[in-house]
Amino acid sequence: MIKIPEFVKNLKPYQAGKLIEELAREKNLKRIVKLASNENPLGPSLKALEAIKEALPRLNRYTDSTSYETVQAIALKYNVQPQHIICGHGTDSLLAYIINAFTMENDEILTSEGTFIGIYVNARKFGRKVVKVPLKDYAIDLPKILKNISDKTKMIYLANPNNPTGTMFGYREFEAFMAKVPDHILVILDEAYTTYASANPDYPNGVHYEYENMVVTRTLSKAYGLGGLRIGFAVGPDEVINALYKVKLPFEPNLLAQKAAVAALNDDEFLKRTIELNQTSLKMMKAKFEQLGIKQVPTMANFILLLMPDEQFAQNLYQGCLNKGLIVRHVKSFGIPNGIRINSGTVEETEFALDIIEKVYLKLKNKYQLILKG
Ligand SMILES: Cc1ncc(COP(=O)(O)O)c(C=O)c1O
């Protein structure tokens, strides 16, 4: 009989935000809006779609395993040496490669509680222990992370802005942190939401640092609108990037992803509209949540973390919204059991979502108050 290693038996498959198609199969709803996976509500850039169409007749060919054109486009856009860049099937894939290439059995990965679930899932896949430091006021606590470095720490994972809290650490804090991290520990700086935060003068733009023990990951799944295609990249020193090329699946990312990425990276007008829409939608949301008295964590990304009185309330709000055709994310699995995360949408989607949340929230609040009164 085949024997499955104990750590694989104990794994739980990644639970992504609920799919629109899935909810449509389950319920007979007129309209469904999904604001649960921090996707771009504008859809993909039309330039990316055009590039995909042009590339389709070449699908019989294997892809360029070095993503030459995409790497050149990234190098040009961010002023980074091409040899310091590697592309993969999204940040998720790159995180797996980073853990694969730089950790061994018994090495530990140090990170925060209440951060991107992908790091927990990828670490467990390799049987690596994750040490989690509590958040401080819903933000990543860099000084506390430093204090928790041990002989076994091999890697530190930080998301900036953080998902699901939307908080950001500034460059002074970050540089003070890096100055104290021993250089045998690799720091992963996950900048999935950089587009939404980089206008802030305090934002430490990771790709512009040259630490020998840091690798920065970026994705085209969020602001660039290509979540379904799977493409992201990592920027780091030669030694790190060379090691990642050794563990990467050779033909990843696929041809369409590589071509679409080049077009999307150069579509400045699309990115501008994305940022503007995000601001508009978040403004509408913040005003409504404030009016309803829902606690919200100040965000630097394209989503807001809402804090419910407890886990049951959050679960009920999530379910109540689902019943009416709105998909948001209950972030219990990220380590925030009373948290609901909602991302920005089009103006129409935002109006639809806020209307549903208002109805569900007020109903639940009344019920809750009745229970509290006993
Ligand atoms: C912080 C962070 N990193 C990475 C990802 C995943 O990126 P990708 O789609 O490139 O795997 C997400 C998606 O939710 C995220 O929030």
pLDDT band at 281 (very low <50, low <70, confident <90, very high): very high
Taking the CA of residue 90 as reference, the ligand 1 atom at the shortest distance is 10
pLDDT band at 38 (very low <50, low <70, confident <90, very high): very high
Tokens 């050794």, residue? 246
pLDDT surpasses 90 at 11: no
pLDDT at 299: 98
CATH 3.90.1150.10 in the chain is located at 6-43+269-373
- In angstroms, how far is CA 260 from the centroid of its own chain? 20
CA nearest neighbour of 109 among 163, 183, 187: 187
CA dihedral 282, 288, 292, 295 (to 10 degrees): 10
Mean confidence (pLDDT) of the chain? 96
Q: CA 82 to CA 71: how far, in whole Å? A: 6
CATH 3.40.640.10 in the chain is located at 46-266
pLDDT band at 26 (very low <50, low <70, confident <90, very high): confident
Pocket test for ligand 1, best of 40, 221, 300 (most atoms within 8 A of CB): 221
73 near 262, Cβ under 8 Å?
yes
130 C-alpha vs ligand 1 centroid, how far in Å? 18
pLDDT surpasses 90 at 373: no
Q: Is 163 in the pocket of ligand 1 (CB under 6 A)?
A: yes
The 8-class DSSP code of residue 139 comes to B
Q: What percent of the chain has pLDDT over 70?
A: 100
Condensed to tens digits (0 to 9), the pLDDT of residues 53-100 reads 999 999 999 999 999 999 999 999 999 999 999 999 999 999 999 999
Taking the CA of residue 193 as reference, the ligand 1 atom at the shortest distance is 1
Cis ω before 164 (30° cut-off from 0): yes
CA nearest neighbour of 280 among 329, 221, 349: 349
pLDDT at 113: 96
- Tell me the pairing of strands 232-235 and 214-219: antiparallel
Q: Is 71 in the pocket of ligand 1 (CB under 6 A)?
A: no
The strand pairing partners of 339, in sequence order, are 307
Burial category of 101 from C-beta neighbours within 10 Å (exposed 0-12, middle 13-18, buried 19 and up): middle
pLDDT surpasses 90 at 29: no
Taking the CA of residue 115 as reference, the ligand 1 atom at the shortest distance is 1
203 C-alpha vs ligand 1 centroid, how far in Å? 19
- CATH superfamily of domain region 6-43+269-373: Aspartate Aminotransferase, domain 1 (3.90.1150.10)
Condensed to tens digits (0 to 9), the pLDDT of residues 119-152 reads 999 999 999 999 999 999 999 999 999 999 999 9
- Tell me the pairing of strands 303-307 and 339-343: antiparallel
Domain 46-266 in this protein, CATH class: alpha beta
Q: Is 219 in the pocket of ligand 1 (CB under 6 A)?
A: yes
Condensed to tens digits (0 to 9), the pLDDT of residues 265-277 reads 999 999 999 999 9
143 C-alpha vs ligand 1 centroid, how far in Å? 24
